[in-house]
């Protein structure tokens, strides 16, 4: 019995994969870790698989597409391993439908992943939703139908094309095969290799899943003819592989059609499929040379990536890339910070502040509000918008009227910009209700499916499709897919050039909102705003000759010859929210080329810019206002419990240094901002008050359990409920973000806002 089990075909295939196909097994292991929430949980990667969203809805259709994705990846694994290793088991050649039987016996690894996926989906859905059994059953029915349909299409094709020994070697077919010049050159060599192998298989699982004993009279069959059976099968597999890859890439021409923007996890499965097919092709055709060839190809591609064909810039829509690039050196940067230039920009901002002050009675000194909102992907965008709606309610509509500057990073600025645009529109449309829930639904709509789909069908190859904007053509990429989807989600209200906000800001109808991405080249900030803000690049009004490194570059002046005023505003928002690998860094028309990264790397909370603005206009604020209120909207807790350390494993020791840098970056910026705020509070001659809002699932659940707020939700580990850093949120994550406003700290902050505006009433 032991020999029958150990030398069964499924077990021998499993051992073979563990012995020589570790790269292919590694892809399955990675998929398993994702499903078990052991990989990428902070970024929300597991939720893409456990809660797939299609057309902004988690439904049976999303799981149907996931079933297709799993089936394609599984078949890619079967086809690749059959081509690589099928000839080692020559008994397959004399069986009818050899590839089907190979797949059945090769299914241990896929079946383990499938079972874990089913269990994980059930546990996730039960934990995060109030689902009845029928709701989960519908999801699984969708998955199984998509899975079964895809498998049927594959095997239907193979049933007509793949031949076994007895069918293939009739006189007619054999004569045709002998005339064929398709892969027969290495038959003799492979037959000799096969004779040297010592693979021992006693039993295999038949189509009905019953074990069958392998016949031992295979030596009477001619070895070269057995290999011809595999060759014929391999040819058909190769054809379907080429067709499969072609179909996936062909979909790229229609990626703007919303119904083709598959769930992000399905796109990941298709990427895994292409990777598996490529790995198998290299190993099969190159054999012992595969490592050398793969390394050589990588080096060639790596070198070629520097060429003009493969290294075309990711553009900002609206800018003119045809004009000569702007000179990007220290002399030019110094010229942009001439004292006269700084005075001119400060004078323009003072005009804006005076226009704002004129909206109040002459004798009244209002509070001036500065809003600083943190980055954090879509959770920050939703949280910022939600808090601003609550501020609007608590202040009885006066909050935005008193706010003069909005600073921040990434998703927080996107949420704030959306609310600011709605506020601007409400001034000419009295029917527009800023607090409607539909705006929260819009900003929280999925923005990841289109990004990952475009990455698969376009950005992994040579980008060749273009989009026209303002009379100019730009190459499409996943960054454009992000912009386009954001524009769709927000119903097009943000799709306007940067200059469209110049007059509303000048007339003080809306607060100023500079977008401040980090410049990779020299770590300076790029201030993108309709009004030049060169003064934000220095700590004080400098005199010529002072030895101070400029801290920022004014976008409008630096790119004045490149139509800076017509920069697409959504492109500017994307520049400030460039998530590594998800949305590519934008390159701007300068020499050397300026490259832009996420604002959060320099100041994720916007506090530094708000305080610098306060410093530059301290005299005016002191004379014309009754004080400053700095409202901070964080998408993370400011104060966390000290984590208990356990003895690390060797793997943890290797990754801990990088992990510590990532985790502590938030804490480093928080501590720096605390010191900076305390310093400014003591130094400035005007009263400064800070009102803080934090997204914290932990605070909400603790307040609920203590009976401070209504509700009966509980959890043993509140951190599990924290929304992921992503451009797609699950329904549970959206609910957690929304309900976090009811924490004791946030309710106290709203109470303080009510008190401030009550005292500041005219």
Which of 266-270, 293-297, 341-345, 693-697 has the least mean pLDDT? 293-297
Mean pLDDT for 162-172 is 45
pTM (two decimals): 0.85
Quick check: 446 pLDDT over 50?
A: yes
State the pLDDT at residue 214: 80
Question: What is the tens place of the pLDDT at every residue in 687-744?
Answer: 899 999 999 866 555 655 665 555 554 444 444 456 788 888 888 889 889 999 998 8
Three-state SS at 71 = helix
State the pLDDT at residue 229: 55
Which secondary-structure segment (H or E) carries 226?
Answer: helix 223-250
What is the average pLDDT value for the chain, to the nearest integer? 82
Distance between CA atoms of 426 and 384, rounded to whole angstroms?
Answer: 19
Mean pLDDT for 389-394 is 96
Question: What is the tens place of the pLDDT at every residue in 284-333?
Answer: 677 677 778 778 877 887 777 667 666 678 899 999 999 999 999 988 88
Mean pLDDT for 549-568 is 92
State the pLDDT at residue 1: 72
Question: What is the tens place of the pLDDT at every residue in 730-740?
Answer: 888 898 899 99
State the pLDDT at residue 173: 40
Q: Contacts by 740-743 with C-beta closer than 8 Å and gap 24+?
A: 740/383, 740/694, 740/695, 740/696, 740/697, 740/699, 740/700, 741/386, 741/387, 741/390, 741/693, 742/700, 742/703, 742/704, 742/709, 742/711, 743/694, 743/696, 743/699, 743/700, 743/702, 743/703, 743/709
- Do residues 674 and 690 make contact, with C-beta atoms less than 8 angstroms apart? no
State the pLDDT at residue 57: 85
**Strand 628-634 vs strand 368-373: parallel, antiparallel, or unpaired?**
parallel
Question: What is the tens place of the pLDDT at every residue in 479-490?
Answer: 999 999 999 999
Give the residue, 114 or 285, on which the prediction is more confident. 114
Mean pLDDT for 559-583 is 91
Which of 238-247, 269-278, 665-674 has the least mean pLDDT? 238-247
Quick check: 193 pLDDT over 70?
A: no
Output phi, psi for 482, to 5 deg: -65, -50
State the pLDDT at residue 762: 52
State the pLDDT at residue 320: 95
Q: Contacts by 425-428 with C-beta closer than 8 Å and gap 24+?
A: 425/493, 427/509
pLDDT classification of 369: cutoffs 50, 70, 90: very high
Quick check: 78 pLDDT over 50?
A: yes
**Strand 518-519 vs strand 594-597: parallel, antiparallel, or unpaired?**
antiparallel
Mean pLDDT for 613-635 is 93
Radius of gyration of the chain (CA): 31
State the pLDDT at residue 726: 84
Distance between CA atoms of 253 and 47, rounded to whole angstroms?
Answer: 28
pLDDT classification of 183: cutoffs 50, 70, 90: very low
Distance between CA atoms of 751 and 754, rounded to whole angstroms?
Answer: 5
Q: How far apart are the first and last CA of the chain?
A: 91
pLDDT classification of 283: cutoffs 50, 70, 90: confident
Quick check: 226 pLDDT over 60?
A: no
Percent of the chain whose predicted confidence (pLDDT) is above 90: 43
State the pLDDT at residue 179: 44
- Do residues 12 and 201 make contact, with C-beta atoms less than 8 angstroms apart? yes
Question: What is the tens place of the pLDDT at every residue in 656-686?
Answer: 565 666 667 778 888 888 888 888 888 888 8
Residues pairing with 369 in the sheet: 403, 629
State the pLDDT at residue 84: 80
Both tokens of residue 639?
């104060």
Which of 328-342, 380-394, 455-469, 679-693 has the least mean pLDDT? 455-469
C-alpha separations of 55 from 65, 261, 338, 454, 479 in Å: 12, 8, 51, 16, 19
Mean pLDDT for 340-352 is 94
Mean pLDDT for 178-183 is 44
């Amino acid at each position: 019995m032991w020999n029958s089990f150990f030398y069964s075909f499924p077990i021998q295939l499993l051992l073979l994969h563990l012995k020589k196909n570790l790269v292919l097994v590694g892809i399955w292991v990675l998929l398993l870790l994702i499903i078990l929430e052991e990989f990428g949980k902070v970024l929300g990667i597991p939720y893409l698989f456990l809660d797939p969203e299609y057309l902004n809805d988690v439904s049976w259709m999303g799981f149907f597409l996931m079933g297709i994705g799993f089936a394609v990846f599984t078949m890619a694994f079967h086809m690749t391993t059959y081509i690589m290793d099928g000839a080692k088991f020559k008994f397959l050649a004399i069986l009818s439908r050899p590839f089907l039987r190979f797949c059945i016996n090769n299914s241990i690894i896929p079946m383990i992943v499938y079972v874990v996926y089913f269990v994980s989906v059930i546990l996730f859905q039960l934990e995060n939703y109030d689902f009845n059994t029928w709701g989960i059953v519908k999801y699984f029915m969708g998955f199984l139908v998509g899975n079964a349909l895809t498998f049927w299409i594959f095997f239907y094709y193979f049933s007509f094309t793949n031949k076994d020994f007895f069918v293939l070697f009739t006189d007619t077919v054999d004569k045709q095969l002998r005339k064929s010049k398709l892969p027969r050159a290495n038959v003799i060599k492979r037959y000799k290799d096969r004779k040297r192998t010592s693979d021992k298989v006693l039993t295999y699982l038949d189509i009905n899943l019953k074990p069958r004993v392998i016949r031992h009279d295979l030596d009477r069959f001619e070895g070269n003819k057995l290999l011809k059976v595999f060759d014929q099968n391999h040819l058909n597999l190769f054809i379907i592989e080429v067709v499969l890859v072609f179909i996936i890439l062909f979909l790229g021409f229609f990626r703007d059609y919303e119904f083709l923007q598959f769930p992000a996890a399905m796109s990941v499965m298709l990427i895994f499929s292409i990777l598996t097919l490529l790995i198998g092709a290299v190993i099969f055709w190159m054999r012992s040379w595969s490592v050398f060839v793969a390394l050589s190809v990588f080096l060639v591609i790596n070198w070629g990536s520097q060429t003009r064909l493969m290294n075309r810039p990711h553009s900002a829509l609206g800018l003119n890339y045809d004009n000569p690039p702007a000179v990007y050196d220290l002399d030019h940067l110094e010229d942009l910070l001439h004292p006269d230039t700084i005075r001119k920009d400060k004078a323009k901002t003072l005009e804006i502040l005076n226009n704002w002050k004129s909206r109040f009675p002459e004798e009244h000194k209002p509070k001036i509000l500065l809003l600083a909102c943190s980055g954090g992907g879509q959770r920050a965008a939703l949280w910022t918008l939600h808090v601003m709606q609550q501020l609007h309610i608590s202040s009885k509509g006066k909050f935005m009227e008193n706010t003069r500057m909005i600073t921040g990073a990434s998703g927080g600025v996107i949420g704030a910009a959306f609310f600011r645009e709605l506020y601007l529109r409400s001034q000419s449309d009295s029917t527009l209700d800023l607090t409607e829930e539909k705006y929260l639904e819009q900003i929280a709509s999925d923005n990841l499916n289109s990004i990952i789909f475009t990455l698969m069908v376009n950005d992994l190859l040579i980008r060749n499709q273009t989009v026209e904007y303002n009379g100019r053509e730009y190459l499409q990429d996943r960054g454009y897919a992000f912009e386009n989807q954001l524009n769709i989600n927000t119903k097009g209200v943000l799709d306007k050039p940067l200059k469209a906000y110049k007059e509303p800001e000048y007339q003080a109808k809306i607060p100023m909102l500079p977008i401040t991405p980090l410049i990779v080249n020299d770590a300076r900030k790029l201030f993108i705003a309709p009004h030049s803000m060169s003064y934000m690049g220095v700590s004080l009004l400098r005199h010529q000759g002072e030895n101070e490194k400029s801290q920022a570059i004014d976008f409008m002046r630096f790119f004045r010859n490149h139509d800076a005023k017509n920069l697409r505003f959504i492109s500017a928002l994307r520049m400030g929210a460039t998530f590594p690998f998800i949305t590519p860094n934008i390159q701007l028309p300068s020499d050397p080329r300026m490259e832009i990264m996420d604002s959060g790397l320099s100041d994720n909370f916007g506090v530094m810019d708000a305080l610098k603005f306060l410093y530059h206009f301290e005299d005016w604020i002191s004379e014309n206002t009754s004080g400053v209120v700095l409202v901070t909207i964080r998408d993370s807790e400011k104060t966390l419990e000290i984590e208990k350390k356990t003895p690390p494993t060797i793997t943890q020791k290797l990754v801990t240094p990088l992990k510590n840098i990532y985790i502590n970056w938030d804490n480093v910026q928080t501590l720096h901002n605390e010191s900076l705020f305390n310093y400014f509070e003591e130094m400035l001659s005007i009263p400064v008050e800070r009102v803080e809002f934090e997204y914290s699932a932990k605070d909400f659940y603790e307040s609920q359990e203590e009976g401070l707020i209504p509700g009966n939700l509980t959890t043993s580990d509140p951190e599990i409920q924290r929304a992921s850093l992503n451009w797609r949120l699950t329904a549970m994550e959206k609910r957690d973000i929304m309900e976090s406003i009811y924490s004791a700290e946030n309710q106290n902050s709203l109470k303080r806002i009510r008190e401030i505006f009550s005292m500041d009433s005219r």
